[in-house]
Chains A and B, each alone.
Chain A
Amino acid sequence: MPVLAYCITETQPEVMVPQAGVCGAAIRTVRVEDLQCFASQFGPQDVVGKAPIQEAALDFNRVLQDLLRQIAVVPFRFPTMLTDVTAVSQFLIEHQSEYRVNLHRLRNCVQMEILLKLPTSKQPQAASPKSGAEYLRGRQAQHQYIESIVARFREAADPLAKQWRHRETVAGIRCFALVDKNDVQVFLRQMKDVSVPTESEPRVTGPWPASEFLKEQ
């Protein structure tokens, strides 16, 4: 029977398994040595049409957050289904060294995010450039503007962030800080004190599983 995979964790410390997963399904663990995968068994007919995908995604997130409060997790992208429990074991066996290293490195860590919107006035298409050089100058100014705002958050996060990454997306600039889970509230207070242009509409979210930090740069 197909299984929906939530995440991978270490087997120690022991954690409380969430009582129900997506669509109220029972959650079980599949263990391989010192790693375990949390999963729920589904027939395709059990999932199709049973709940709106939004609700299923919320259920999935609730399971991840419940576990993240207790232990570091490597999440699967929702909805990841493997053909059966054996496939889960096989996947864990094949990738165990990679996940073992990551989970050890990310132990007690969570990911905090800061989304910064790029003000319309700073977007290169806002003013039609008359030449390529003008466009490039616009891009350079935009880049410097972004970097100056990101730098303020990074500086504020510096004492707490074990690692920091940021990248430009269609939604704006996304910054990711790897933070000790005990420092989350302090981190949020630090971010609150950052002075930035209001038009950047800073939005801080978290804690999340440290997906952005699964691979070391």
Chain B
Amino acid sequence: MPQPSEDLVIASGDLDQEMTLLDIHDHVLNAGVVIRGSLVISLAGVDLVFLGLDVVLTSVETAMRHMRLPDIGPPGASPKGSQR
């Protein structure tokens, strides 16, 4: 039965106003301009795709959802050089 949304969660402004880490991570990792390239490095133990000389970094998981990545190496691989 529809009713006024008293349980509506308003998450606006600063983090201490119920803006959750999930909200923020979802946006900064999944929204925005993407540039293309091909290389893997690690950031704080998390494998990131370091995309070429022109370059973007994104999470491997996110990148795999958006593009096919040949030869990026297994998780935990050492950082590669910046040459393509």
Binding site for B on A (CB under 8 A): 2, 7-8, 44, 47-54, 56-58, 60-61, 64, 74-83, 87, 91, 152, 184, 188, 191-198, 201-209, 211-212, 214
Contacts and interface: CB of A to CB of B under 8 A. Distances in A.
Task: Point out which of A49, A74, A76 has the most chain B C-beta atoms below 10 A from its C-beta.
Answer: A76
Contact of A75 (B33, B46, B56): B33
Contacts of B35: 76, 80, 82, 91
20 contacts: A48-B43, A50-B44, A57-B29, A61-B24, A76-B34, A77-B30, A77-B33, A77-B34, A78-B29, A79-B43, A80-B56, A188-B10, A188-B12, A192-B5, A192-B10, A194-B5, A195-B4, A202-B8, A203-B8, A205-B12
A49 B44 CA distance: 4
B70 interface: no
B53 interface: yes
Given A74-B32, A191-B8, 12 more contacts: A44-B41, A64-B28, A75-B33, A77-B32, A82-B55, A194-B8, A202-B7, A203-B11, A204-B10, A204-B12, A209-B31, A211-B27
Mostly, the A contact residues are mixed
A191 B10 contact: yes
Interface in B31-52: 31-35, 41-46, 48, 50
Contact of B27 (A74, A152, A208, A214): A208
A101 B46 CA distance: 36
